[in-house]
């Protein structure tokens, strides 16, 4: 079943608001087993709107529109749809009564132009709106159909959840199942090359790769006769994928790396602390962004200057003078000192040049990561990792360092 | 001049990412004087992509595409466009050399499928990409034209700012001048009300307001006969705007608040330190994200636990017991201790409940901010601010607290 999403609204074309409606509806439709072929955004122009509806119906079985159901002159979605499917607009008494009540409940004046919001295609099915004035509706079109929803995101998502999902689930008998795998440490083109035996000529399940900042995700989808068959097909494919790239997988449930880290440290009752130089607090900020972090994270040091490394952490000034502040030795020492001062089970550190400029003969992107922990006998162990991207992008270097730090901790914790 | 935006990417149709590219490009095109008629999103399907290009060119003079310029089999934008305009793809030696260098600089493996990223329509104009592997390009189409940009937002916006805006300005002979004012501390509807005498019935210049997370921006635009006339008209309007809302303006050049803060503290040779609890390092991370921060920022404390506040900062345990950790007294003390320990000129602190849950009888969103500095006589002064949003949104509460902390520092520094 193929679907298109058609958003009516000039504010979107002006670039004033981001189109979160299309994203939301897309995700919901995918879960219900629809193949979303198009997103369209068009202004309050009946000719262009009608044209797009026509084009969408050539390829798609379902069109979902948002917007254009308001009381103003520019709101034309209903009129255009009714004309397209060859229906006429009539007053729906239930909606009219509901609207009058909504206005009196919220102590607001109902104006004459609100009346048009109670007009509907005579053969249409109406979906009530409990958080706004414009009900949605559905019109049939020769076995295909079009659903019109209000534009304001909260009204649209409420109606979608309460009315549209149940309606579509029943009408379409959805049997799609999918999993999203998150990987770290492998680039998208290498990933695709390694998975090519599974991807090439694929029919069902399908594997789609997509790169996000510094990471890669995989979506494995199956649409079979029953949900059990779909699930089984995906699980079989997951086994094959693990065989090829298992070492790079950090989540099989589309979880953020920080969420996975906080969850696993809490499960193992481990404490983490941090000592950050060039990432300047972003690592600690990322970890503490996860609800439940306070159980595994108590303190972080942002030792941005050399004085701070010496005074707040207790790093030996002579070590810095000997090896330079951007070195494996200093990264290691920062992690060890953070471990000792905080009493945590694991401590992670970072020192480097984020950019955009190089620092003397140290190139931008040269960043040392350190990690420190105690082994079974209580001995302090450390490990150091070097990133040397050659990149002059301050934001990217810091973000990728935070990602790498989280991954170092995760790998260590999974080995303990 | 009419334009359409065509985004290629199945991840958008899956609802996995929000289409920020279309919003950004729309806003830029509007500023350049284009009328944006459509946004379209389509997947990696050459037939549908070609069809949409055809439809767009019926109404529009310019199409901007994003995405589909990557190295994988699914990346087909170039092939489709070349076929549409009747051109052939050839290797561009400059791009190929640039790509090889990019891979060797970043110590990464270039694979065979990356080669296609150096293929371009032979009659096309190429736009270099300095933050990624895929250059963009332009193809002419009988007086109309199509520009293809990379999909990843950072690569796209960088290319747009460096290459496309100058190109389009020159090609379309834009004599438009604008300024973007950033304000803090005034809501969008109040802002619009206060500025109504200037906005009502406006022709040129125009004032457009738009709200971002926790702040409001204003764009003042003029399009006159010459650039000097446009500039003059905008400057005159700026005077009127300053008279009405001057106290809320923190930048007249669309600068980020952190950039303004770092710049002004550096100008005054002042040092800043921080003690963060619920924002967990995000404040320090935000400040250090600005190049040049190391001159004014040396250390930040992420004292997430009570132990850390006591041990790392030296906050009196009895104070915490008496007033509770989420209190003006503790916020004030955290700032004073950070000031003393670091020797900085200003120190800022935060303690509160970010959410999503309440903590006992302290509601989510209740956050105290503290600031500490020395007056002319060397006496330590402090000030406290309370935020009590009643919001359960952890991310928003933390982000708004960071914004408020930066604003507190800026206000203080501007008064010194």
Block means of pLDDT (10 residues each) for chain A, 416 residues, are 94 88 92 89 93 94 94 87 95 89 77 85 92 89 94 90 87 77 90 91 84 84 84 96 95 94 97 98 98 97 97 97 97 98 97 94 96 94 95 93 97 93
pTM: 0.77
Residues of B with Cβ-Cβ distance to A37 under 8 angstroms:
13, 42-43, 45, 48
**Peptide bond before residue A387 is cis, with ω within 30 degrees of 0:** no
Between chain A and chain B, how many beta carbons pairs sit less than 8 Å apart? 263
Residue B224, burial from CB neighbour count under 10 angstroms (0-12, 13-18, 19+): middle
**Which residue is listed with tokens 């680039």?**
A187
A287's CB contacts (< 8 A; 6+ apart) are A258, A261, A262, A272, A274, A293, A297, A406, B280
Report the pLDDT value the prediction gives residue A358, as an integer from 0 to 100: 94
**Which residue is listed with tokens 């250059």?**
B135
Running DSSP on this structure, what letter comes out for residue A362? B
Strand partners, B85: none
Q: Which residue of A has its CA nearest to B295?
A: A305
A156 in Cβ contact with A149 (< 8 Å):
yes
Q: Which of A26, A39, A210 sits opposite B40 (nearest CB)?
A: A39
Report the pLDDT value the prediction gives residue B127, as an integer from 0 to 100: 96
- pLDDT, mean of residues B171-186: 83
> Comparing C-alpha atoms, which of B318, B32, B288, B303 is closest to residue B147?
B32
Residues of A with Cβ-Cβ distance to B288 under 8 angstroms:
278-281, 302, 304
A120 in Cβ contact with A78 (< 8 Å):
yes
Higher confidence at residue A217 or residue B31?
A217
CA distances B372 to A123, B25, B219, B329, Å, are: 68, 42, 35, 12
Q: What percent of chain B has pLDDT over 70?
A: 99
Secondary structure of residue B399 in the 3-state scheme: helix
A173's CB contacts (< 8 A; 6+ apart) are none
Phi then psi dihedrals of residue A299, to 5 deg? -155, 150
CA torsion sign for A190, A195, A196, A201 is: negative
Q: Do A22 and B23 touch (CB under 8 A)?
A: no
Residues of B with Cβ-Cβ distance to A401 under 8 angstroms:
none
Is the per-residue pLDDT at B211 higher than 80? no
CA distances B146 to A176, B83, B277, Å, are: 37, 13, 50
- Separation between Cα atoms, residue A247 and residue A231, nearest integer Å: 23
Report the pLDDT value the prediction gives residue B16, as an integer from 0 to 100: 83
Secondary structure of residue A121 in the 3-state scheme: strand
- Separation between Cα atoms, residue A260 and residue A293, nearest integer Å: 11
Strand partners, B30: none
Higher confidence at residue B244 or residue A27?
B244
Higher confidence at residue B178 or residue B20?
B20
Q: Cα A350–A354–A360 angle (5° rounding)?
A: 105
State the best of B4, B37, B211, B299 to mutate against chain A, taking most chain A CBs within 10 Å.
B299
- Separation between Cα atoms, residue A284 and residue A374, nearest integer Å: 21
Residues of B with Cβ-Cβ distance to A274 under 8 angstroms:
302
């Amino acid at each position: 079943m193929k679907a298109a999403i058609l958003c009516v609204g000039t504010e979107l074309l002006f670039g004033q608001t981001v189109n979160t409606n299309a994203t939301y509806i897309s995700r919901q439709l995918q879960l219900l087993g629809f193949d979303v072929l198009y997103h369209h955004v068009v202004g309050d122009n009946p000719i262009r709107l009608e044209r797009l509806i026509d084009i969408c119906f050539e390829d798609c079985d379902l069109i979902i529109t948002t917007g254009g159901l308001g009381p103003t002159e520019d709101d034309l979605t209903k009129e255009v749809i009714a004309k397209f499917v060859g229906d006429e607009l009539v007053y729906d008494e239930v909606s009219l009564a509901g609207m009058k009540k909504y206005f009196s409940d919220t102590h607001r004046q109902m104006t004459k132009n609100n009346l048009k919001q109670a007009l509907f295609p005579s053969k249409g099915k109406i979906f009530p709106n409990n958080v706004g004035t414009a009900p949605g509706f559905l019109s049939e079109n020769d076995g295909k159909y079009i659903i019109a929803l209000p534009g304001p995101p909260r009204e649209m998502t409420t109606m979608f959840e309460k009315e549209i999902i149940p309606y579509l689930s029943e009408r379409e008998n959805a049997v799609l199942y999918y999993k999203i795998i998150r990987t770290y440490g492998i680039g998208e083109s290498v990933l695709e090359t390694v998975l090519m035996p599974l991807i090439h000529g694929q029919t069902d399940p399908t594997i789609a790769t997509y790169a996000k900042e510094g990471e890669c995700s995989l979506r494995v989808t199956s649409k079979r006769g029953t949900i059990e068959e779909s699930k089984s097909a995906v699980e079989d494919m997951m086994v094959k994928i693990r065989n090829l790239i298992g070492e790079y997988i950090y989540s099989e449930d589309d979880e953020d790396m920080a969420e996975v880290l906080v969850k696993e440290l809490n499960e193992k009752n481990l404490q983490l602390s941090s000592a950050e130089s060039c990432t300047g607090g972003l690592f600690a900020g990322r970890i503490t962004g996860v609800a439940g972090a306070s159980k595994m994270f108590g303190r972080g040091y942002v030792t941005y200057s050399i004085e701070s490394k010496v005074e707040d952490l207790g790093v030996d000034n002579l070590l810095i003078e000997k090896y330079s502040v951007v070195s494996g030795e200093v990264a290691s020492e920062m992690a060890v000192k953070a471990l000792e001062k905080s009493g945590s089970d694991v401590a992670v550190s970072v020192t480097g040049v984020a950019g955009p400029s190089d620092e003397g003969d140290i190139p931008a992107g040269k960043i040392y990561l350190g990690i420190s922990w105690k082994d079974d006998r209580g001995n302090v162990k450390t490990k150091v990792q070097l990133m040397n991207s050659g990149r002059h992008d301050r934001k990217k270097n810091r973000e990728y360092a935070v990602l790498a730090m989280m991954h170092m901790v995760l790998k260590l914790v999974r080995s303990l």
